[in-house]
Structure 1
Amino acid sequence: MDKHELGRFLRHHRERLTPATVGLPAVGPRRTPGLRREEVAQLAHISTQYYTRLEQARGPHPSRHVLAAIGRALRLTDAERGLLYLLGGQQAEPPGPSPDVPDRILDMIERLPLTAAIVLDAKYDVLAWNPLAAALLEDFSAQPRRERNMIRRYFLHPDPSRRHYGISGGGDFGQFAAGHLRAAAARYPDDRATQELVRELLRHSPEFAARWPNPEVSDERHLLKTVDHPELGSVELVCDILSVPERDQHVVLFTAEPGTPAHEALRLLSVIGLQRMS
């Protein structure tokens, strides 16, 4: 890690942005071009002191999670983000499923007010979600990162009725999940998190262990699902799965036909569900 090179890189990309380009108000006169350090820190959800130390080559070794947040704040391209990781002492490409959701995907799911959307990595960790998804499924922010895995939850959740958030229809998720995880484990044989997840499920889930030797990998991308919501009851939704191939990620979208009871349920949930979590 070259702290001085990292500092120069951060300063250069900070100074090429303006508040307008990142959606911030322009407050007060500016003696130098670009964003202020505190504005970058705000966008990256880190402290101003920590970000300042990185720019001044006095900071500690930043984690990949911190670098990803700074990369999003500075609106870096994929190539620029790769260089940021190298300067920060991280691999440009992770040895396992990528945890970095492209900005265009994050922006898209935030612009879908009546669509519940989540972003999954190759081993089905939930990486990002919009407010309606949190109201429909669960408040993922309240869960430790390790518990935000949909396959672990399905096979190890103590309440069978809630292990898949009350979702039914569209095939056997357990069979799909076992096949999908086996394919991911084959793609990332050196990724410790993926391999540990497989070992954990083989040890603690007889159902998973029974499915593991004979995986079935489905490529269905358009399904009809029924969600048994604790407050709204059964809601029939369309589930579409979009690929983000350059990151080996998936965007899962739950929608309803306008004018249907399910559409009205989502509209109601977009109000009462978010109020309940606030």
Structure 2
Amino acid sequence: MRWFIVKEGSSPETLSLGEFLRARRERLTPEDVGLPFYGRRRTPGLRREEVAQMAHIGTSWYTSLEQGRVSNPSDQVLDSLAIALRLSSGERRHLYTLARPVERELVHASQEVTLGLERTVLALDPNPALVLGSSWDMLLWNKAAELVFRLPAFTKDRVLKPNWLRRFLTDSETRRNNPDWEAKAQVMIARFRADYAYFQQDSRFNELIEELLRTSEAFREHWPKHDVQITVDCHKRWTNPSIGEMEFEYVTLQQPDHPGIKIVIYTASPATGLRLKDLLEM
């Protein structure tokens, strides 16, 4: 059985896989996995040999995996590591994505918004809707999104696209209007980390990471933790000082032929929809 390939160098993908494994190992304690505890340790988390033993693989090979010197681990090995490291379903999916880098064509997939998608998003008013590129650059948004999220008026001629994550992390008014901003920032960074697994060769993505490491304290704190969260449909409620309390059902959609593009829709409750409709007609 072929379990892995050992490479002389390390690629960004294998390094990211190794960093993720290390972060997940260091967050666990012996008590978490049923191992005996013999007092405080010099370094946080489990030892590499403990993870290797629980995953039924060699310690030297697991060490090479963490150090980015191994690629293409088998599904059997990935499953064993997911169990040993107590990964959630989202983290397990992330592990597989890191271990199976996407084709280069996906990285360079078109970020153009089709006419049909444009008309669909604009027609969703008074429900806020926007289209995000692979690195969360905002490619399109409707009038309701402009109102709810204080966005500039959309124009196709805009050269520099606003970025959804940068705006949330660095805009002072956004922070003031969100009492639970810290928790939301942590979730958004974890979702951004999950998306990054698909686009590690994307220069725009990497430039944004470098920028946010310089400009955002929250990003500097949470990005190295390698926490991931898969975007799911959910209920959202918050209060906007100029609009009042708002309530939405949040969904994210992707087109099969444009995997680098996300359509984000906030479907308003009846009361919220009526209020937004009145404001948009003023």
Structure 1 residue 93: Cα displacement = 5.6
1:211 alignment partner in structure 2: 222
- The 2-side partners of 1:169 and 1:98 are apart by 35
Give the counterpart of 2:166 among 143, 152, 155: 152
Give the counterpart of 1:130 among 142, 145, 149: 142
Residue 170 to residue 210, structure 1, CA distance change in 2 (3 Å):
closer
SS in 2 for 1:251: strand
1:266 alignment partner in structure 2: 276
- The 2-side partners of 1:239 and 1:167 are apart by 17
1:103 aligns with 2:104: no
Structure 1 residue 176: Cα displacement = 2.8
SS in 2 for 1:134: helix
Structure 1 residue 251: Cα displacement = 1.2
- What pairs up with 1:72-91 in 2 under 5 angstroms? none
4+ residue stretches of structure 1 with deviation over 6 A?
A: 168-171
- The 2-side partners of 1:150 and 1:104 are apart by 22
- The 2-side partners of 1:235 and 1:199 are apart by 34
Residue by residue over 1:244-273, the C-alpha shift from the partner in whole angstroms, topping out at 9 and shown as x without a partner, is 243222111122233x3x12212212212x
Q: Identity over aligned residues, as a percent?
A: 25
Give the counterpart of 2:152 among 139, 152, 156: 139
Residue 103 to residue 212, structure 1, CA distance change in 2 (3 Å):
same
Structure 1 residue 119: Cα displacement = 0.7
- The 1-side partners of 2:175 and 2:136 are apart by 14
- The 1-side partners of 2:234 and 2:184 are apart by 12
Structure 1 residue 200: Cα displacement = 0.9
Residue by residue over 1:127-172, the C-alpha shift from the partner in whole angstroms, topping out at 9 and shown as x without a partner, is 1111222122222538965461011112222x1x4149x4677994
TM-score when scaled to structure 1? 0.54
Residue 140 to residue 99, structure 1, CA distance change in 2 (3 Å):
farther
1:5 alignment partner in structure 2: none
Residue 271 to residue 215, structure 1, CA distance change in 2 (3 Å):
farther
Residue by residue over 1:200-234, the C-alpha shift from the partner in whole angstroms, topping out at 9 and shown as x without a partner, is 11122221111112233323432222343342222
Structure 1 residue 125: Cα displacement = 1.0
1:115 aligns with 2:127: yes
Residue 185 to residue 240, structure 1, CA distance change in 2 (3 Å):
closer
Whether the 8 Å CA contact 1:114–1:132 is kept in 2: the answer is: yes
Gaps of 5+ in 2: 1-103
Q: Give 1:228's aligned amino acid.
A: T
Superposition RMSD in Å: 3.1
Aligned length: 176
Residue 97 to residue 207, structure 1, CA distance change in 2 (3 Å):
farther
Gaps of 5+ in 1: 1-91, 273-278
Residue by residue over 1:178-210, the C-alpha shift from the partner in whole angstroms, topping out at 9 and shown as x without a partner, is 223334433323322111100111122221111
- What pairs up with 1:1-278 in 2 under 5 angstroms? 95-96=107-108, 98-137=110-149, 138-141=151-154, 145-146=159-160, 148-157=162-171, 159=172, 161-163=173-175, 166=177, 172-247=183-258, 248-258=260-270, 260=271, 262-272=272-282
Higher relative contact order (CA 8 A, sep 6+): 2
Q: Give 1:193's aligned amino acid.
A: R
Residue 194 to residue 97, structure 1, CA distance change in 2 (3 Å):
farther
Q: Give 1:250's aligned amino acid.
A: K
